[in-house]
Structure 1
């Protein structure tokens, strides 16, 4: 989608400010299930520098850039994993935890290694998603979704992306718990941190 093509805007359409195909797929499913009348439009404009130190700051940076480029209401997610034993890290630095290559496997391996001496009761963590909504008129909203759980001792499953194969969500039956990497896409999209954040955003979408 080019900026000129989107500049006219249209009711029922919102730009998803990301170049991450995994997020595009996930948000497409989430929005379809929650607001089937709302069309999510892809974004191929300039990718801004995410130099914030919080999820909210980075989400706003991306949403503002997309709204300015397209002239349409734009939403952006910034998300990651927050480990209690690490004081909430990696947090906003989740994508770069093992360096600027954004290597998901290296990120997971480093995090698991850092917790190698931490017992299961103390491996608690949360997936956090913050969604920013920015309109061309300058209105801004920020919402958060939190998905509690704990870290596995080793990666399991080929599904999802990022830290999914090492995150065990709360609420599963003892003895048969699975990482998100072992869940189906439908299971994840029904309850993920991004789903929870988007549900909080829905009342703020107004007539979109």
Structure 2
């Protein structure tokens, strides 16, 4: 299966990505502020359900790709690097919005909160591209089933995302208030995230394919 060092590196990558600007975190943060912690947590479970769909689709798709088109790894590797560079630019470009900046949302019933969380994630291109471009960097056919490796990575990513977003949902008001009072750190958070993502993109692009 996946070596521990690679799994830890992947978990770190997942942590960076969950902290970058995106619909999921903005929705959960905004929902928690506008309707309370409970609404934020319900929305989070909807987001997790969306992750499961993305994970299974990616695991099945990657299994087929590795079996049918081995050199596709190189294409996916560079696609992943370009995707990370794009995220880095999104974090630092003029007028960029931090995920810690909430927006006003009207109150909704629990069922709708769950559905909206699910759809927000399911239709989020950031998540789909992450699964299809970052997963292959950590999957090596020689380590066993590509499908099981992909599921292991998916469960790791979902766990990291769940913990981070749960903490945000439970402390959304305090987080948003602190960043509102400290705009310098709001900008610094985006710049640091952009630098780290760019560095990771370069690392992945230069990494040599390990023998299968």
User: TM-score, normalising length from structure 1?
Assistant: 0.26
* TM-score of the superposed pair, with normalisation by structure 2: 0.26
Which protein has the bigger strand share? Answer: 1
Q: Which has the higher contact order (CA 8 A, sep 6+)?
A: 2
